[in-house]
Amino acid sequence: MKLPSTPRIDLLEPAIMLATVLQWLVLASLVGLIVGTGVSLFLHALFFSTDRTLDAPHWAYWLMLPAAGLANGLIMGHGYRVLGTPGLKDSIFAAVHEQGGRLPWRTLMLKPVAAIITLASGGSAGKEGPCSHLGASLAAVVGQAFRLNRELRQRIVACGVSAGFASVFGTPIAGAIYGVEMLIIGRIRHDFLFPALIAGMTSFQVSKAWGIPYQSYLIPALPAFSESLFLRTVLIGMLCGVVARIFVDLIYAVRNACQRLQTRYALWPPLMPLMGGLLLAALVTVIPTDYLGLSLPLMDHALQGEPMPYLGFLWKSLLVAVTLGSGFYGGIVTPQFVIGAVAGNAFAHLFGISPSLGAAVGLVSVVAAASNTPLAAILMGVELFGGVVGTVYVSGAAIAAYLIIGHRSVYPDQRLGHAKSSWMRVSADVPVGQEKTHLSYGLLKAWRQMRAQGARAWLRTWWHAVRQRRNERDDQP
């Protein structure tokens, strides 16, 4: 029986691809326009609020931080109970992976308001979290308004996340890639890239039109490429991978401690951030207040080459962990900028590197490691610092840091796509906060054999097997 011939798609496929490009040029540009406007209004409100409390006396933190903690607890607890949508999580990761691009729209402003209260009171957090959340929520509204199907809604939410990051970072390409790369560790949805880039570029330009200020940094002229300097920057990247791991572990430790404390004593939930505010006020009696809030001037000083203390990264990490772990709401990426720049600057001289280059390498490395976004971090280095030679140095360091931190993340809902090492195995598409990594079967078998035989005997056996395989290969014609 003769089978019917398949239809020719020589002309059909390009037509479909052209329609896809045109579709996302329209939809992603619309999302970028809406998100850019929403993020800009939020940033102006944030700047206005933080300017009012910028020079607050030290005693004022004993009033502002506990009050802000109580307000955060009420907003994030009572507000979500009243305005939340049953069955829908207000999470970017849940929206893309579980909810088909749907988010509750009635709670859209809760996180931005909570973030303004956090940062205006001196809470140590970032500004990009509410921007990405705002972007995702507005994009979800657009997807529902146009009655898009599940797959298109997932993409348009990713567009909103990228647009939010692009607007707040001032790095449209890196911000767009960050919004896609952060979704799954080790795997990028390439079908998300074009919409994300269009939305990111549009949002960035809209925010510039709204008067949002952005800053770029100039690293002093670097010498011609040097393998020695490249290896030294990789070593700094490895060190910053350890710094990122300390940062992530501190956040989890404080969050778990607060949850255990609340459960054991049946405390009213808003009391936890209130107590966190009191602890923050106590900590800044010994830690400089420069480490409160966004701490962007601290990052600027580090990138300009001014000396930073060795423990500066730990001070900032501790304040962020107490702020976010106790129940305040805020972003998690801006602290990574500050922690990385301070650590890279402080340790640069140990490797014979200028403090400015060390700070730039540290900034990129900590973002690559803590967020598991090495490509976005490298592109961020290009957009922030420029220069082909400098890009080479931050690239090696960023990837080294990404590997050193292992399978940890500042985002507990971030999915695992692939293990970072062939000697480890993980379950795919499981949140990193719920998955435990395991040794690969081959490595586990070798470890058991070595323990049974003893290290020296096992090494002799292994070397004999290697030589035997080599001889067998040489004997083959």
Residues 297-306 have pLDDT tens digits of 999 999 999 9
Output the CA–CA distances (angstroms, integers) from residue 216 to 208, 219, 295, in the order listed: 14, 10, 17
User: Tens digit of pLDDT for each residue in 321-366?
Assistant: 999 999 999 999 999 999 999 999 999 999 999 999 999 999 999 9
Flag whether pLDDT at 240 surpasses 70.
yes
Residue of 227 and 439 predicted with greater confidence: 227
Indicate the average pLDDT of the chain. 89
**Structural Rg of the chain based on CA atoms:** 24
For 408, the token pair is 């940890």
Res 380 pLDDT > 60: yes
> Are 412 and 248 within 8 A, CB to CB?
no
Specify the pLDDT at position 459. 74
CB atoms within 10 A of CB 412: 15
Taking the C-alpha atoms of residue 468 and residue 389, their distance in angstroms, rounded to an integer, is 45
pLDDT above 60: residue 477: no
Whole-angstrom distance, CA of residue 180 vs CA of residue 253: 28
Alpha helices in 170-287 (DSSP H): 172-181, 193-209, 227-265, 271-283
Instruction: Kindly indicate the confidence band of residue 315, based on its pLDDT and cuts at 50, 70 and 90.
Output: very high
How many distinct helices (H) and strands (E) make up the chain? 19, 4
Instruction: Give the containing element (helix H, strand E) for 298.
Output: helix 296-303
Range scoring the smallest mean pLDDT among 110-119, 229-238, 378-387 = 378-387
Closest CA to 180 of 400, 415, 412, 420: 415
**Helix, strand, or coil (residue 422):** coil
419-444: average pLDDT: 74
What secondary structure does DSSP assign to 267-291, as a single string? --TTHHHHHHHHHHHHHTTTS-GGG
Q: Which position has the token pair 């100039």?
A: 218
For residue 158, give the 3-state DSSP assignment: helix
Tell me if 394 sits within 8 A of 362, measured CB to CB.
no
Mean pLDDT for the stretch of residues 403-419: 90
- Which of 399, 403, 354 minimizes the C-alpha distance to 374? 399
**Residue 124: strand, helix, or coil:** coil
As beta bridge partners, residue 184 has 415
Does residue 50 carry a pLDDT above 90? yes
pLDDT attached to residue 219: 72
Dist CA 397 CA 231 (whole Å): 9
Per-residue confidence (pLDDT) for residue 256, from 0 to 100: 95
Q: What is the pLDDT of residue 88?
A: 86
- How far, in Å, CA of 380 to CA of 366, rounded? 12
User: For the purposes of burial, counting CB atoms within 10 Å of the CB of 385, is it exposed (0-12), middle (13-18) or buried (19 or more)?
Assistant: buried
Looking at residue 276, what is its pLDDT? 96
CB-based contacts of 454, cutoff 8 Å, min separation 6: none
**136 close to 153: Cβ distance less than 8 angstroms:** no
What is the pLDDT confidence band of residue 14, given thresholds at 50, 70 and 90? confident
3-state helix, strand, coil in the chain (%, to 5): 70, 0, 30
Report which of residues 458 and 288 the model is more confident about. 288
Q: pTM for the complete prediction?
A: 0.91
What does the alpha-carbon distance between residue 171 and residue 165 come to, in Å, rounded to a whole number? Answer: 8
Helix axes 312-326, 271-283, angle to 10 degrees: 160
Spatial CB neighbours of 190, under 8 Å, sequence gap ≥ 6: none
The length of the chain, given as a count of residues: 477
Report how far residue 53's alpha carbon sits from residue 64's, in angstroms, rounded to the nearest whole number: 10
By three-state DSSP, how is residue 425 classified? strand
472 has pLDDT over 70? no
Task: Give first-to-last CA distance, the chain, whole Å.
Answer: 47
- For residue range 115-125, what is the model confidence (pLDDT) as tens digits? 999 999 999 99
116, 331, 371, 384 from 39: Cα distances, Å? 13, 14, 21, 20
pLDDT of res. 13: 85
Q: Which of 154-158, 178-182, 239-243, 455-459 has the highest mean pLDDT?
A: 239-243
Name the pLDDT band for 170 (thresholds 50, 70, 90). confident
Distance between CA atoms of residues 370 and 16, nearest Å? 39
Please determine, for residue 41, whether its predicted confidence score (pLDDT) is greater than 60. Answer: yes
State the pLDDT at residue 423: 77
